[in-house]
Amino acid sequence: MAVPDAAVSFLLENVGQLLSYNRHLIADVKENIEKLEADLKVLKILMVDFSNYTDNDSELLKQTMKDIKSTLWKAEDAIDNYIVQADLRTSRPGFSGACHGVTDFAVVLGEVGREIEVICKKVEELRAQRVWSGFEAISSNFNKTAESSEAHKVEEEQLIIGFDGAAEYLVDCLVKGPKQLEVISIVGMCGLGKTTLAKRVFKDPHVTYEFMDKVFIYVSRDYDKKKVMLEILASFAEINDEVSNLDEERLENYLRQQLEGRTYLVILDDVWEKNDWDRFKFAFPNNNKRCRVLMTTRNAEVAMYAHPNNPNYWYKLDFLSLDHSQELLRLKIFQKNECPPKFAEYVMKIASKCYGLPLALVLNAEMLMNHPENIDWWREVFNNLSDYKARDITQVTKLIYFSYKQLPNHLKRCFLYLGLFRKDFEIPVWKLVRLWISEGLIQQEGNLDMEVVAEKYLEELVFRSLVMVGRRRSNGKMKTCLLHGTLRGFCHREAVEENFFQEITMDNLSSFGLGNLDQYRRLCINDVNVSHFLSVATAGKCVRSFLTCPREDMAVELKLVRSISKASKLLRVLEVQSLIFPRFPPEFYGLVLLKYISINFRNGIIPQAFSKLWNLQTLIVKTSSPTLEIQADIWKMPHFRHLHTNRATSFPCPNANSQLEGKEGALWPKNVQTLCTISPESCKREVFNQTPKLKKLGIYGSLSKLFELDGGASFFACLNKLESLENLKLLNSDMNSRLYILPLKKSFPPQLTRLTLLNTRLDWIEMSVLGELDTLEVLKLKEFSFQGNMWEAEKGGFKHLKHLYIGSTGLVVWKASGDHFPQLKSLELNGCEELQELPYGLADIPTLQSVVLHHTNSSVASSARKLLKLKLLQANKGDRNIIKLSVFPPDH
């Protein structure tokens, strides 16, 4: 049974949000609302200690929790339905159902109030009878938020305690041996650290040096062969529509052809069956270039089958010794291989109960490190492990549950939400953050933006080893995340049990007919034909979130789309970007509670009626049209925060009518944080005046039009007032125009950390302006952003630059030293075919960690290898980082 207080706390907070955000629509039932609020406050006070109760198996307690959730859902449904009716009454004066709606609402809320009173009495009786017992001495510590992950950060590679020999052995297998293709496997049970070991080997500098083309792919049990092959291709080549549309057989042949001339390493993580290898092996040519495939698997038969003639090419990962288990615990909890004497006994006892399983050790460490000085808490953790055997997978699940139980409420529900996504799906962090906020899972913390709070929550889950980092951005922040298969399975089971969501699969599709969806609040459709599902299951009147994440986009008839809006009028989240509509469905305009829409349609127009969605926070649009026109007045949408589009987007300029739509003539909050990607024509002074909190701005089109702003007023004069702007993209689509000059440093946004330029055709001398930007950390100079043969960097510039990307710019000579980029960590060149060599002065940058070359030339690759050799020599002396070099395509 999942910990019940997470769901109840979530519902209490969501009902509170509904009451707070929609008072202007429920003013005519003010007395009913005030009574409900008072009842909820009493219930919330009685629920405060629920996170400390240990007797969660009490049948009386379970039934009480069910009663509470049922009552709160009834209140939530009543409020939502009334808001929809009130909005309809406002937009259609004389609507005949208005009075009836008030009456129904008052009756339902009266029933809810009486039920809450009964529940409060029951909770008080339970408290008096002490049905739950616990650790009062430490209960005040339970829901404390974990300290910053930066303060306790232990690199993943450091957690391969006791596996140094395994890493060395595997590296030797990869870089040495015959020139023929070899398949190497890591075998071990769930939780032994196969993926972490494979990642460490993948990042090893000797492996990076030997393999110019290498890729790490998560396979998992329910993989899609075509998707896996496309991911391998994407690691060293551009994927166009022609390649994406190839069938499996032709794509396999194409991949084989592309790998034929390369020295490649492919890591296939989490391979389950022997026939999985049969399905992939023909894509990997034996080209006598010492190419390698490394697999991780729980099944030893898979390893033996892939390489039957040489058992030396698979490594069986074993459990840790007791000494190594204690070392791992100490390192994770105290960040060093030692601990206070009073905890030494418990370190030994807990380590022995984990039986050498790294996953068990890490999860226990995550619980202990939140109260590292509380001996009572250590004793409690140990007592919960008294009958624990880590080598039994059912006991591993119990451990995960115990770790989950100790999460603060706000992390429990965020963790459960991750079970919505497909098993092998790398979740984009920016999208996950938007979804969490729209779902009401993120609460305001002081003056922090909810996006910042959500990212902090995610870091905490990573810090607690419950979520894995997929990829990181050039500035070091998380780009994607994913769940370990075992954790995802646990998360999914608990969420379904608590009715947190329901996943529609091929196995349960037949059971969902008319009326079978009414009990669910969230639906996710991952590996099912969505059109077929919509044709057989049209009900779902209580559904608040409808999400699809199939492996491929699919066209859907509008008549089926209408079934979503007709049956589920209370939707808040609509993630349907994988479904291709001919146009924006007009039926969606009636879904006035929507906070999040991710949609895909062809005609490139969002009509005026879209502004009826006054609750909307996030709009994500994918269209095959060359441009996107938003005819709706988005400035009338008071909660609007994020616009993400794949085309240059135009929209109406704010006007007086837009700004005075609030109650009693008040201005709507100016909360917009993202405008990406918009047309230059939409970059008006009024737009920037209305977006003082803007953090990300992407502009695509003829950039010369930017300087026509306000009849000649400088575009940068407007930007410089955007004190929160961190990310700016200037993408010029007009091949006949260019930017001749950049403004002075003072004209740039004061907090700008990321800048991307495309086709601006500036002279290299203008780089001195960018070098003066104090906060700039990431600079991406894409195709033709600069022009000219030589760039000579100036001293004193780019003091905080960490990532530099240079595309096809015609650069021939680049003069620079370590003084010019004192904090540079990564350098990426793409298409610099005329460049003679890399500046040798880059070897003096102490922070430089990686150099990636795409489609350069042999002389540039040769100069990069000289840098790598120099860094290897310096690393052997212990005074420098090792540069990780990648060259695509390989030049040898």
**Same domain for 127 and 4?**
yes
Q: Which residue has 């709160």 as its token pair?
A: 72
Residue 455 lies in a domain: yes
**Same domain for 767 and 883?**
yes
**3-state SS class at 748:** coil
**Same domain for 333 and 466?**
no
Residue 99: per-residue pLDDT: 47
> Among 164, 178, 257, 255, which Cα is nearest to 217's?
255
Angle between helix 341-353 and helix 375-383 axes, rounded to 10 deg? 20
Burial zone of 226 (CB within 10 Å; 0-12 exposed, 13-18 middle, 19+ buried): middle
CA angle 429, 432, 435 (to 5 degrees): 155
Residue 546 lies in a domain: no
Task: Give the separation between CA 521 and CA 546, rounded to whole angstroms.
Answer: 9
Residue 685 lies in a domain: no
The 3 state secondary structure assigned to 595-633 is: CEEEEEECCCEECHHHHHCCCCCEEEEEECCCEEEECCC
Domain count, the chain: 5
CATH assignment at residue 380: 1.10.8
**Same domain for 440 and 305?**
no
635 and 668 Cβ atoms separated by less than 8 Å: yes
Residue 148 lies in a domain: no
The series of mean pLDDT values per 10 residues for the chain, 892 residues long, is 47 60 64 68 59 53 73 76 73 50 63 66 58 36 37 44 74 82 79 79 78 80 78 76 80 84 84 80 83 82 72 69 78 73 77 74 74 73 61 67 77 90 86 94 85 92 80 84 81 81 73 61 80 69 85 79 74 91 89 93 94 92 95 90 96 70 48 94 90 95 78 73 94 88 89 96 94 95 94 89 94 91 93 92 86 89 83 59 70 51
Residue 791 structural domain: 755-892
Task: Give the separation between CA 520 and CA 505, rounded to whole angstroms.
Answer: 15
What b/e string do you get for 323-332 counting C-beta neighbours within 10 Å, with b at 16 or more? ebbbbbbbbb
Which residues contact residue 280 at a Cβ distance below 8 angstroms, ignoring those fewer than 6 apart? 225, 228, 268
CATH assignment at residue 210: 3.40.50.300
The number of residues making up the chain comes to 892
The first and second tokens of residue 845, run together, are 């940058």
Which residues contact residue 507 at a Cβ distance below 8 angstroms, ignoring those fewer than 6 apart? none
**Same domain for 776 and 862?**
yes
**Same domain for 218 and 293?**
yes
Task: Give the separation between CA 390 and CA 870, rounded to whole angstroms.
Answer: 45
Secondary structure of the chain: what % helix, strand, coil (to 5)? 45, 15, 40
Residue 734 lies in a domain: no
Residue type, 333: I
> Among 455, 480, 454, 456, which Cα is nearest to 468's?
480
Give CA 210 to chain center in angstroms.
Answer: 32
The 3 state secondary structure assigned to 512-567 is: CCCCCCCCCCEEEECCCCHHHHHHHCCCCCCCCEEEECCCCCEECCHHHHHHHHHH
Task: Give the separation between CA 641 and CA 695, rounded to whole angstroms.
Answer: 10
The count of other CB atoms within 10 Å of the CB of residue 312 is: 10
What b/e string do you get for 265-294 counting C-beta neighbours within 10 Å, with b at 16 or more? bbbbbbbbeeebbeebeebbbebebbbbbb
> Among 102, 99, 109, 85, which Cα is nearest to 32's?
109
**Same domain for 178 and 227?**
yes
The first and second tokens of residue 577, run together, are 């970007």
CATH assignment at residue 58: 1.20.5
Give CA 328 to chain center in angstroms.
Answer: 28
What b/e string do you get for 794-833 counting C-beta neighbours within 10 Å, with b at 16 or more? eeebbeebbbbbbbbbebeebebebebbbebbbbbbbebe
User: How many Cα atoms sit within 13 Å of 846 on the Cβ side?
Assistant: 4
**Same domain for 179 and 301?**
yes
Residue 297: per-residue pLDDT: 83
Task: Give the separation between CA 190 and CA 192, rounded to whole angstroms.
Answer: 6
Residue 547 lies in a domain: no
Q: Point out the domain boundary residue: 465, 499, 533.
A: 499
Residue 590 lies in a domain: no
Q: Point out the domain boundary residue: 484, 499, 514.
A: 499
The first and second tokens of residue 835, run together, are 């460049």
**Same domain for 391 and 412?**
no
Task: Give the separation between CA 780 and CA 796, rounded to whole angstroms.
Answer: 20
Q: Which residue has 């206070």 as its token pair?
A: 340
The count of other CB atoms within 10 Å of the CB of residue 448 is: 11
Task: Give the separation between CA 192 and CA 183, rounded to whole angstroms.
Answer: 21
**Same domain for 263 and 331?**
no
Q: What string of DSSP letters covers 27-89? A: GGGHHHHHHHHHHHHHHHHHHGGGGG---TT-HHHHHHHHHHHHHHHHHHHHHHHHHHHHHHH
Which residues contact residue 12 at a Cβ distance below 8 angstroms, ignoring those fewer than 6 apart? 40, 43, 44, 47, 72
CATH assignment at residue 421: 1.10.10.10
Give CA 814 to chain center in angstroms.
Answer: 37
Task: Give the separation between CA 486 and CA 190, rounded to whole angstroms.
Answer: 7
Q: Which residue has 């702003």 as its token pair?
A: 709
The first and second tokens of residue 264, run together, are 């490649």
The first and second tokens of residue 751, run together, are 């907090």
**Same domain for 81 and 221?**
no
Q: Point out the domain boundary residue: 388, 405, 422.
A: 405
Residue 563 lies in a domain: no
Residue type, 754: R
Residue 125: per-residue pLDDT: 62
Task: Give the separation between CA 501 and CA 136, rounded to whole angstroms.
Answer: 33
143 and 373 Cβ atoms separated by less than 8 Å: no
**Same domain for 85 and 204?**
no
